[in-house]
């Protein structure tokens, strides 16, 4: 929720200022996907195209083995701040593939550029799947020749790996009385699952935005959304979040700290957070979404660090799978972080039930809390009573199926 002072009146921007709608592409965006034989029968290759070059911001993996497509896309977006197309495949990550991998990316860019009659530097490339395998360039080339300028949503399925469902969201809102749309989609089922090469998220919007405005906004919002989810704690070589704004809604370009900017920020935050939650909820083997809320910390980074540690603890995750109100694991996890806090003033709630007050156990009805832990969404609230800052993170439970999926993947 964002508070914005407009002409002396405090206006609270809430989700009521924009509407979650059925997924559709913003003005001027086209998309199509196909099956080129990387996956068994399923859609595995697709693109997004914007009628005009779109202002583009990106956030990329920090893994030292950055995959070839991720590195190339980062390079061109950092230099030009715009893209007009994105080509994406699943099943093969084109990571740890050396010079051949880099050349395959250049070839892929050139083929898409030729087909769409645009510069190769306007083509972003994204891959997700097995590390160490090369792209079958004959199939890629054939695929590019088959894709059309449709407006279907097949690409939201084509990028999936072990995901059990597509993660999509559209929101509508007015800026300067002009209807605008943000539509995002993501894959990831394992915040991090390196072999499957993890998370991708693409957000498209038709708003017009001023120069040098989208990148800092995306970076800020990624830190409190995608960077606050975890499924298994690893970081892949192919992680990428791209946001494209093509300006075709026709509004005057929005500038930082204007009321329009605050509304757009709230809507984009909503889109990124929903996609992040959808990834966490569909974590490998997951049966539950776990949200941790840390309140009254000494700093935002302390609050976020603790929130993420809680949803990242195998012991907490296994306890939640087992509907076990085991607060000792939560408090131990808090204590093992590098965050600063007073260890004597902590209150903990599991869902709505207090289990710890002032760092000591309170009497609670174990059966009642265990029952509430059988819900699909679990909330863990930690009040540090030691400051004014809050943070959130999202994860999932640790289940037999997580072990099964990851023990039997390649055999």
Which residues are annotated as part of the binding site for substrate? 161, 187, 198, 284, 406, 411
**Residue 332: other Cβ atoms inside 10 A:** 13
Residue 189 · residue 67 · CB < 8 Å = no
Per-residue mark of binding to its own copies, 239-278 (x: CB under 8 A): ----------------------------------------
Cα radius of gyration rounded to whole Å, the chain:
22
Selected from 152, 370, 379, 385, the binder of its own copies by CB under 8 A is 370
Residue 111 · residue 10 · CB < 8 Å = no
Q: Least CB distance from residue 371 to its own copies, whole Å?
A: 11
Task: CB nearer to its own copies: give 106 or 403.
Answer: 403
Q: What secondary structure letter does DSSP report for 128?
A: E
Per-residue tokens: 333: 């996890």
Q: What span, in angstroms and rounded, lies between the C-alpha atoms of 50 and 28?
A: 6
Task: CB nearer to its own copies: give 235 or 300.
Answer: 235
Q: Does 190 bind its own copies (CB under 8 A)?
A: yes
Is residue 3 part of the annotated active site? The answer reads no
56, 97, 162, 198: the active-site residue: 198
Task: CB nearer to its own copies: give 169 or 350.
Answer: 350
Identify which range of 23-31, 178-186, 383-391, 395-403 contacts its own copies by CB under 8 A.
395-403
Residue 206 · residue 248 · CB < 8 Å = yes
Percent of residues in the chain assigned helix, strand, coil, to nearest 5: 35, 30, 35
For residue 307, the SS3 value is helix
Start-end of H helices in 89-180: 98-116, 137-146, 155-158
Residue 64 · residue 80 · CB < 8 Å = no
Q: Does 368 bind its own copies (CB under 8 A)?
A: no
Per-residue mark of binding to its own copies, 328-357 (x: CB under 8 A): xx-xxxxxx----x-x------------x-
Q: Does 400 bind its own copies (CB under 8 A)?
A: yes
Task: CB nearer to its own copies: give 34 or 70.
Answer: 70
Selected from 150, 210, 323, 390, the binder of its own copies by CB under 8 A is 323
Q: Does 95 bind its own copies (CB under 8 A)?
A: yes
Tally the C-alpha atoms within 13 A of residue 122's C-alpha that lie toward its C-beta.
Answer: 19
**Continuous segment of H or E residues that includes residue 174:** strand 167-175
Q: Does 65 bind its own copies (CB under 8 A)?
A: yes
Q: What span, in angstroms and rounded, lies between the C-alpha atoms of 37 and 26?
A: 30
Q: Does 300 bind its own copies (CB under 8 A)?
A: no
- Binding residues for its own copies (CB under 8 A): 62-65, 93, 95-98, 130-133, 190, 193-195, 232-237, 313-315, 318-319, 321-329, 331-336, 341, 343, 356, 359-361, 366, 370, 398-400, 402-404, 406-411
**Residue numbers annotated as active site:** 198
């Amino acid at each position: 929720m964002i508070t914005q002072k407009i002409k002396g009146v405090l206006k609270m921007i809430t989700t009521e200022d924009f509407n979650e709608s059925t997924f559709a592409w913003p003005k001027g965006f086209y998309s199509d996907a196909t099956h080129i034989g990387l996956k068994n029968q399923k859609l595995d290759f697709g693109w997004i195209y914007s009628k005009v070059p779109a202002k583009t911001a990106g956030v990329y993996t920090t893994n030292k083995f950055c995959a070839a497509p991720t590195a190339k896309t980062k390079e061109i977006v950092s230099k030009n701040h715009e893209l007009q197309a994105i080509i994406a495949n699943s099943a093969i990550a084109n990571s740890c593939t050396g010079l051949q991998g880099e050349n395959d990316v250049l070839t892929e860019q050139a083929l898409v550029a030729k087909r769409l009659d645009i510069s190769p530097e306007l083509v972003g490339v994204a891959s997700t799947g097995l590390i160490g395998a090369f792209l079958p360039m004959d199939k890629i080339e054939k695929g590019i020749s088959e894709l059309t300028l449709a407006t279907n949503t097949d690409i939201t399925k084509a990028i999936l790996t072990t995901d059990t469902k597509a993660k999509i969201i559209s929101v509508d809102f007015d800026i300067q009385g002009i209807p605008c749309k943000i539509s995002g989609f993501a894959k990831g089922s394992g915040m991090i699952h390196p072999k499957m090469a993890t998370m991708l998220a693409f957000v498209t919007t038709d708003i017009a935005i001023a120069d040098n405005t989208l990148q800092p906004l995306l970076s800020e919002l990624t830190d409190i959304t995608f960077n606050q989810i975890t499924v298994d704690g690893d970081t892949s070589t192919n992680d990428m979040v791209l946001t494209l704004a093509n300006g075709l809604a026709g509004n005057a370009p929005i500038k930082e700290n204007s009321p329009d900017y605050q509304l757009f920020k709230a809507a984009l935050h909503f889109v990124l957070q929903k996609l992040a939650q959808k990834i966490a909820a569909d974590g490998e083997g997951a049966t539950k979404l776990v949200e941790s809320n840390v309140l009254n910390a000494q700093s935002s980074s302390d609050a976020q660090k603790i929130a993420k540690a809680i949803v990242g603890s195998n012991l907490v995750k296994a306890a939640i799978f087992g509907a076990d109100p085991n607060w000792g694991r939560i408090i131990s996890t808090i204590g093992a972080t590098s965050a600063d806090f007073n260890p004597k003033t902590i209150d903990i709630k599991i869902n709505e039930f207090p289990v710890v007050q002032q760092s000591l156990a309170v009497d609670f009805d174990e059966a009642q809390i265990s029952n509430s832990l059988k819900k699909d969404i679990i909330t863990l609230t930690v009040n540090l009573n030691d400051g004014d800052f809050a943070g959130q993170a999202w994860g999932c439970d640790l289940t037999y199926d997580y072990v099964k999926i990851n023990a039997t993947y390649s055999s």
